Structure 1
Amino acid sequence: MILKPSMFKYTLLIGLGFYSLTAFSQEEEQIPTEETQGKLGEIEVIRDYKPILADAVKIRQSPDLTNNRKYFSKPNYNIFDKKLDINTGTHRLEIQQVPPSRPDILTNNYAKIGVGNFNTLLGEVYISNGEDEALQVGGFIKHLSQKGSDFEGQNFGEQKIGLFGRSILEKITLNGEVGFNRYATRYYGFVPTLPDLNPDPIKQHYNDIYIKGELNSNHEDNEELLSYSLKADGYLFGNAFSAKENSFALSGNINKKVNAFNVGANISGDFTNVKSQDLSLGNHIARVNPYIRFQGKNYKITLGAALVSEFGGDETRNNIFPAVDVDFALVPEYASLYAGVKGDAVKTSYRSLANENPFLSETPFIDTTNNTLVVRNMLEKLNVFGGIKGNAGATLGYKIGVFYKQLSDVPLYAINPNNPTRYDIIYDRDEKNTVFGFEGDINLRISEAFSLGGNLLFNEYDMKNEAEAWFIPKLRVAANTRINISKKVYIDGELFFNDAMKAKSYNKFVGITTGDPNAPVTVSMPAFVDISAGIEYRATKQIGVYVRGNNLLSNNYERFLYYPRLGFNVIGGVNVSF
């Protein structure tokens, strides 16, 4: 190795440091003297150069972990559920789980098959290009079907297929997905007082074709740069009859740092058309949310307003809501206080309602009194919230908060007065409806082998026109855990508690023979607990065998009145990673 004169002085200083602290057992070297130091043009080193710093010159300053950047572009991941969903209706609350420990060998693809009681059949395949973070391309396909034995027509079927992609370029990140979902069942509702009411349940299915894409500016060290994002979503949704909903939504964000604060705006437009029989109705919502954000080392204050316009339907409404958020680090990195005041128009979507309750009428939203379509968005006139959130290292994350809302046009499920196996959408239009509640989330990871997550939501509704908030429980609790017993054995479990609910029925359906048979009556639905658990044995690094049990307590509960859910069911099979 030849050292040029420009590098000589640095080499000499390092060499002197080594010589003063360490004696080498290699052959003797000639050390430049004061006389010869300025005359030498080059030095030939006859051994490998191995720099070693003494303790005295090592850096002792600890890194400042609180010096965080103030803006990061929000990443988006395509993560797909790999666990069995038996459609028990208990998946309304989604818990952000701590990811399990990674397997010894990372794989890009997997396939799963399984069979069980109730004629359960499961098949699932997921394929991607690899672990290149800059480019992700893949697809998935899933089939799940079941057939109950207690009630005629108690059938369920679900199919999903999709393609996704993600590309990180120099200045932007692109995400996209296109897919098709199908869910099929029958109107198998069973009324105990009228056992012969529904001898041949009618088939129902929902088709959902969707496409979505997102563009985000990549994070730059220079905070003075303009950050932006753009997102587009569209879908075609329809049932087995004439009901359809088509929607296209476009939203964007722009943010610029100016001196000590950020100025930005969120802009969105949601354009939806609902069709049923020969009727059609538009349900469009446009939003503009300008804001200014003050941000310091331990605080962030956002002040703004939301201008929301609803148009295209039988009503046109324009509202201005506050948009205020405050976040203060009570104990930096461990606990932060948050609070805010806001409002919005929440879209009433046939797609989202049918995903929660597939037993809606064949022609929803039709007002039979005047043969018109009626779609009303819920208005959150006021939403005040606050709480505390934070973490304790890498093992514990939590969030606890309370909220108070003033609502109008609250959509609720109600049994059709002429057919108890069908559900209609009704609205409590009073502007003084309120709901008070609190919520909590916790994620605990004790070790690489054990993780625990939980979510709690409590609601106390005060409805003005309707007697109750139909089919909305006051309390929901969900919990999950995963335990890695060894490198080959994994156990996971889930618990869901749904508090008692109130349902709106009629005298003629509950066996009341006195008075008006069409008079409404409140039916109490008991609380229920649904517990599921599974175990997987990894026979090899690529092949695993699993067994999963659902509704382990075999509770004969109802999420919606007159629609009993499946009892204890089990499924087992094989999954292969490749």
Structure 2
Amino acid sequence: MKSIKYIYSTLFLLVAGIVTVQAQDKKQDEKGVVTEEVEVVRPYKPILAEAVKLRRSPNLDDVKTYKAKFNYSITDRKLELNSDIQKLQAQALADEKASVLVNNYVKGAFGSQATLLGEAYFNTGKDEGLQLGGYFKHFSQEGKLNKQNSSSQQLSVFGRSILDENTVSGRINFERNGTYFYGIDDARPTFNTDPQKQALTFVELEGELVKNFTEDQDAFIYALKANGYLWGDKYDAKESYFTLNGYVNKRISSFNLGLAASTEFGNTKDALTSVGNNLLRLNPYIRLQVKGAKVTAGINFVQEFGAFSSTRIFPAVTADFTLIPDYLQVFGEVKGDVNRNSLKGFTDENPWLNNNILVKNTVEKLSFSAGIKGTGGPGFGYKAKLYIRQFDDMPLFVNNFTDFNKFDVIYDFGKTKLTGLEGEISVQVSDALKWTGKLNIDDWKPAQETYSWFKPGLKVSSNFVYTFNKKLTFNAGVVIQDDVKAKLYLSAPVNPLQYVVPNTSIEEIVTVKGYVDLGIGADYKINNKFSVFAKANNLLNKNYSRYLYYQVNGFNIFGGLSYSF
């Protein structure tokens, strides 16, 4: 049945195809188009040669695997389970070329008013374990007044040796100051036509033993120092002195327990006087030192023996608190002491001392001071202090009635009170510019005297250094002091008691005017060995007086050469 359907279908398609072809031929004939016959044999099928056949994906089966050869070994190392930050090892710097130290120099200069300067310094070298050295200086001038001459010589030899546990040092000092009693009263110029000469000599020996620094904060610390001197003038005055100081300290936790002790033996002789003046001091203390604070509390036990005998105990308390590290500290002190007076100390202040001076000690009953100090940044430092001090037997200089150009020492019997303010400042703008200044304002309240003679109420000092370049440096200094009062006797005191209790009926008060002393200097470095310098003093050329009747030298200038080696 299916074959009959298949036959009928094939015949139908064949007949339809023939009729369609004949119909197209008739249409072409009707249009006059060329008639052609197309015979279809089979469909077109392109065939490519075997050589140009390409696969759609490359065949990777023929790629060979490359295996590298390694040579290695296993290190036997312990695994450290340490999570702490390891310390970095600083890279060592290359050795620097050893610098050539200049340990010695000599200096010489001359100038106006017969100024003569000679100076020398010697040292063994850079070995800190053993050092020996010496220093010498001579300076002299001649003023315009009759015998207004002065000269001074200083000689010092010193040594130091650093041992395993201690440091030993010592020195020998010699000083000589020569001058004349050239003081002149302008109202009585004929009273001193032939000034007497004065020469003060001083020989000192000193030795010290100190425990070396150790990082052990609980170590036992100690120090021992001995000092003695001989002093004399051109006449009959002589003085000998010996002192021995000791110090021990032991730290326990945040506390320090210590003891400072000293003994002083002094003897002063003149033609009519002889005084033995000795002291013994004991200062036990306890100190608390923690971060930002240091407080020391103790007592000062002082025993006088010899010509004077007394026993006194004073407080000795100091405190220092850091409010802002490096910028602001607050400090305070409460103390008392017995200040030993001596002819050496008096002549260091006033070399025109009379003969047969009475020497006695001054008791500093109670002193209180408090202030602040710190820095305001790089190159800036400051300190300000307020103090209140009380003295018994305050020594004062007065002109002698007979020899008006010589000074006696009197003692203001009773309680002298001093209230003062002290300020210091240091400013370093750069490596080339530095300025320092100091101010003292004192208010003296004498016990029996009308004034505290020759004690200034205001004193200012300042210093300025400017480095222009590596070779040239300038410096300047100024000292300012206000008026002081001096006492003159209109008649000779009847007895020594009038030196203790003043008698205003035979006294005259004289004002010694204040002064401003300005000086400048310059140094020029020629090379590493030679340099030249110049200095000018009293630029305002004021013939002021520090002590009544004694004018200082006016304007003077000198210069010279220094050699370093």
Give the shorter-chain TM-score range: 0.7 to 0.9
User: How far off is 1:364 after superposition?
Assistant: 3.5
Between the two proteins, the alignment pairs up a number of residues equal to 471
Contact conserved, 1:507 with 1:519, CA < 8 A, in 2? yes
Q: 1:286 aligns with which of 280, 287, 291?
A: 280
Verify: 1:258 aligned to 2:252, yes or no.
Answer: yes
Q: 2:413 aligns with which of 425, 429, 435?
A: 429
CA 1:433–1:32: 2 relative to 1, 3 Å: farther
Q: 1:531 aligns with which of 499, 518, 543?
A: 518
Q: 2:75 aligns with which of 22, 37, 40?
A: 37
C-alpha RMSD of matched pairs (Å)? 2.1
What does residue 63 of structure 1 align with?
Answer: none
CA 1:192–1:254: 2 relative to 1, 3 Å: same
Mapping for residues 232-381 of structure 1, pairs under 5 Å:
232-277=226-271, 279-313=273-307, 315-361=308-354, 363-365=355-357, 374-381=358-365
Task: Give me the whole-angstrom Cα distance separating, in 2, the residues matched to 1:525 and 1:277.
Answer: 32
What does residue 163 of structure 1 align with?
Answer: 157
2:268 is paired with a residue of what secondary structure?
A: strand
CA 1:406–1:487: 2 relative to 1, 3 Å: same
What does residue 173 of structure 1 align with?
Answer: 167
What does residue 417 of structure 1 align with?
Answer: 401
Verify: 1:135 aligned to 2:134, yes or no.
Answer: no
Task: Give me the whole-angstrom Cα distance separating, in 1, the residues matched to 2:376 and 2:184.
Answer: 50
Task: Give me the whole-angstrom Cα distance separating, in 2, the residues matched to 1:269 and 1:133.
Answer: 31
Q: 1:560 aligns with which of 543, 547, 550?
A: 547
User: How far off is 1:145 after superposition?
Assistant: 0.9
What does residue 404 of structure 1 align with?
Answer: 388
Q: 1:211 aligns with which of 190, 196, 205?
A: 205
User: How far off is 1:508 after superposition?
Assistant: 7.5
Verify: 1:478 aligned to 2:461, yes or no.
Answer: yes
User: How far off is 1:249 after superposition?
Assistant: 0.7
Task: Give me the whole-angstrom Cα distance separating, in 1, the residues matched to 2:491 and 2:337.
Answer: 39
What does residue 368 of structure 2 align with?
Answer: 384
2:346 is paired with a residue of what secondary structure?
A: helix
Contact conserved, 1:207 with 1:238, CA < 8 A, in 2? yes
User: How far off is 1:570 after superposition?
Assistant: 0.4
CA 1:427–1:32: 2 relative to 1, 3 Å: farther
Q: Match of 2:381, as an amino acid?
A: G
User: How far off is 1:446 after superposition?
Assistant: 2.1
Q: Match of 2:76, as an amino acid?
A: G
Q: Which segment is superposed worse, 165-174 or 110-119?
A: 165-174
Mapping for residues 106-145 of structure 1, pairs under 5 Å:
106-145=101-140
Contact conserved, 1:508 with 1:518, CA < 8 A, in 2? no
Contact conserved, 1:417 with 1:518, CA < 8 A, in 2? no
Task: Give me the whole-angstrom Cα distance separating, in 1, the residues matched to 2:284 and 2:382.
Answer: 30
1:467 is paired with a residue of what secondary structure?
A: coil
Task: Give me the whole-angstrom Cα distance separating, in 1, the residues matched to 2:156 and 2:208.
Answer: 16
CA 1:483–1:106: 2 relative to 1, 3 Å: farther
Q: Which segment is superposed worse, 320-329 or 333-342?
A: 333-342
1:556 is paired with a residue of what secondary structure?
A: coil
Task: Give me the whole-angstrom Cα distance separating, in 1, the residues matched to 2:379 and 2:71.
Answer: 56
1:420 is paired with a residue of what secondary structure?
A: coil
Task: Give me the whole-angstrom Cα distance separating, in 2, the residues matched to 1:301 and 1:58.
Answer: 37
User: How far off is 1:552 after superposition?
Assistant: 0.8
Q: Which segment is superposed worse, 267-276 or 169-178?
A: 169-178
Contact conserved, 2:529 with 2:563, CA < 8 A, in 1? yes
Uncovered stretches (5+) of structure 1, i.e. residues with no partner: 1-29, 40-55, 61-103, 366-373, 510-515
Task: Give me the whole-angstrom Cα distance separating, in 1, the residues matched to 2:480 and 2:472.
Answer: 27
CA 1:233–1:428: 2 relative to 1, 3 Å: same
Contact conserved, 2:521 with 2:534, CA < 8 A, in 1? yes
Task: Give me the whole-angstrom Cα distance separating, in 1, the residues matched to 2:100 and 2:179.
Answer: 40
2:201 is paired with a residue of what secondary structure?
A: strand
Task: Give me the whole-angstrom Cα distance separating, in 1, the residues matched to 2:248 and 2:556.
Answer: 50
What does residue 92 of structure 2 align with?
Answer: none
Verify: 1:190 aligned to 2:184, yes or no.
Answer: yes
Mapping for residues 501-540 of structure 1, pairs under 5 Å:
501-507=484-490, 519-540=506-527
Task: Give me the whole-angstrom Cα distance separating, in 2, the residues matched to 1:352 and 1:311.
Answer: 20
User: How far off is 1:563 after superposition?
Assistant: 0.4
User: How far off is 1:58 after superposition?
Assistant: 7.8
Q: 2:533 aligns with which of 546, 550, 567?
A: 546
User: How far off is 1:331 after superposition?
Assistant: 0.6
What does residue 43 of structure 1 align with?
Answer: none
Contact conserved, 1:408 with 1:429, CA < 8 A, in 2? yes
Contact conserved, 2:338 with 2:363, CA < 8 A, in 1? yes
Task: Give me the whole-angstrom Cα distance separating, in 2, the residues matched to 1:404 and 1:38.
Answer: 77
Mapping for residues 486-505 of structure 1, pairs under 5 Å:
486-505=469-488
Q: Which segment is superposed worse, 135-144 or 267-276?
A: 135-144
Q: Match of 2:542, as an amino acid?
A: N
Contact conserved, 1:508 with 1:517, CA < 8 A, in 2? no
Q: Match of 1:436, as an amino acid?
A: T
Task: Give me the whole-angstrom Cα distance separating, in 2, the residues matched to 1:517 and 1:317.
Answer: 32
Task: Give me the whole-angstrom Cα distance separating, in 2, the residues matched to 1:31 and 1:575.
Answer: 76
After superposition, what is the alpha-carbon deviation per residue over 1:111-164, rounded to whole angstroms, capped at 9, x for unaligned? 000001111111111110112222221111111111112x11100010111101
CA 1:278–1:464: 2 relative to 1, 3 Å: closer
Task: Give me the whole-angstrom Cα distance separating, in 2, the residues matched to 1:187 and 1:32.
Answer: 102
Bigger radius of gyration among the two? 2
Task: Give me the whole-angstrom Cα distance separating, in 2, the residues matched to 1:32 and 1:166.
Answer: 66
Task: Give me the whole-angstrom Cα distance separating, in 2, the residues matched to 1:216 and 1:32.
Answer: 66
1:355 is paired with a residue of what secondary structure?
A: helix
What does residue 422 of structure 2 align with?
Answer: 439
Q: Match of 1:445, as an amino acid?
A: Q
User: How far off is 1:349 after superposition?
Assistant: 1.4
Higher relative contact order (CA 8 A, sep 6+): 1
Contact conserved, 1:233 with 1:249, CA < 8 A, in 2? yes
Taking only the aligned residue pairs, the percentage that are identical comes to 38
Contact conserved, 1:493 with 1:531, CA < 8 A, in 2? yes
Task: Give me the whole-angstrom Cα distance separating, in 2, the residues matched to 1:378 and 1:115.
Answer: 42
User: How far off is 1:293 after superposition?
Assistant: 0.4
Task: Give me the whole-angstrom Cα distance separating, in 2, the residues matched to 1:180 and 1:437.
Answer: 35
- Taking structure 1 as the reference length, the TM-score comes to 0.79
What does residue 513 of structure 1 align with?
Answer: none
Contact conserved, 2:401 with 2:490, CA < 8 A, in 1? no
User: How far off is 1:332 after superposition?
Assistant: 1.5
1:352 is paired with a residue of what secondary structure?
A: helix
2:405 is paired with a residue of what secondary structure?
A: strand
CA 1:243–1:36: 2 relative to 1, 3 Å: same
Uncovered stretches (5+) of structure 2, i.e. residues with no partner: 1-68, 78-84, 90-98, 493-502
